[in-house]
Chains A and B, each alone.
Chain A
Amino acid sequence: MEKIPILKMGRFLLVTVQVDMHDQLAMQLQDDLTSRIVASKARGVLIDISSLEVVDSFIGRMISNIAAMARVLDAETVVVGIQPAVAITLVELGLSLEGVRTALNVDRGMALLQERLADEQR
């Protein structure tokens, strides 16, 4: 069965969604990610959905759920690489991912996380 890889980069976890996200896959990711955050004591999670071209309300809600769960586990979550069409769809569906941080690309998202970490350590 296919699985969405979760990579560890320093104190952050990097999730890149490379395949079409179907419901089962999203559920699986939710399980995997929460256990990885706990296991690796990660401080930040970066979810890259730049290759995601279609979202429905379920996937939209899963993304915001995953972000909320990560925050409960004290890991800042940044969703990056949302395509214009996907952004419009999400807004039209009424899912504007309140409380989830967003960035244009992985670069920006990583900078955001590092800024956060620096703020905390100060």
Chain B
Amino acid sequence: MTATTQAQHTVPATASRTAAPASALRARKAARRRQLAACAVLMAPFFALLVTIFLIPVGTAIYLSFFSDDQPGLGFGPERTIFVGLRSYAALLTDPTFLSGLGTVALYCLIYIPLMVIGALALALLLDSGVVRLRAWAQLALFLPHAVPGIIAALIWLYLYTPGISPVIDLFAKADITIDFLGIHTVLPSIVNIALWSNLGYNMVVFYAALQAVPREVIEASVVDGAGPVRTALQVKTPLVRTSIVMVAIFTLIWALQLFTEPMLLSQSSPMINSRFSPSMYIYDAAFTRNNYSLAAAASVVLLVCTIALSYGVTRWTSRANTPEETAR
């Protein structure tokens, strides 16, 4: 309906310009309708998926978090479910295991995201500086872990963390150093390492591609102005690729908040990781081990809200942090 009003709105404008007779006007209207129909056909499959895989599930999660089933595990027929308001949220937010999971993920993000963004950017700047030998090969080698599925990256590192199998631990042992990579203080850094290993090269390539798009004149100008390579990299190139930096930071954040695969696998070998180590593991445990759907749904909604709020926060914060710089230039 709104589509036809738009069509009427645009057609007279074009018609008066060409001073077309009524039949041409009708033909234009028909063309416009054909276009909208084609647009609908092209979009329909994706939006069917969007509704079934995204909107309905999010709605269901919110709904479930406010209702509880007297006999959990028997589905959610409307007769048996009762409205419990915020009871599930209250239960969730007073559950120390959930709060410690949130704390774990917060700490994980605080260690992982800065390391990832700075490491990938530094490598990209080094590769872009033009003094690296065999640059193409170095890039390929750095990118390689991205082709290793997450669960297999976790498997490889689990073996490298396991005494008896790991050549790394053997090496340390020869130097009389004993390291327990899966101990209480080391398990989180060990997980950070797996994620860093998997994604460093990928993000480096993203930054490198953005750096390649920086106009060469800008860099030549800064060299003429007497800036050394380090200064050019930090004060000229880095601000010019900040869109990529924000994007990488946000995607890294979204992935980091979902932390699941690596701790799930390591939990097979480390008693330091319990079944509610991260919020995602908490959701899995609540839904499929304890069959407490409303609690799992409430945890899902909390995780969703945190993700959206933090992504939004990063976007706002970076755009504000950039304003003074822009006025200075």
The yes or no verdict on A and B being binding partners is: no
Residues of B within 8 A of A (CB): none
Residues of A within 8 A of B (CB): none
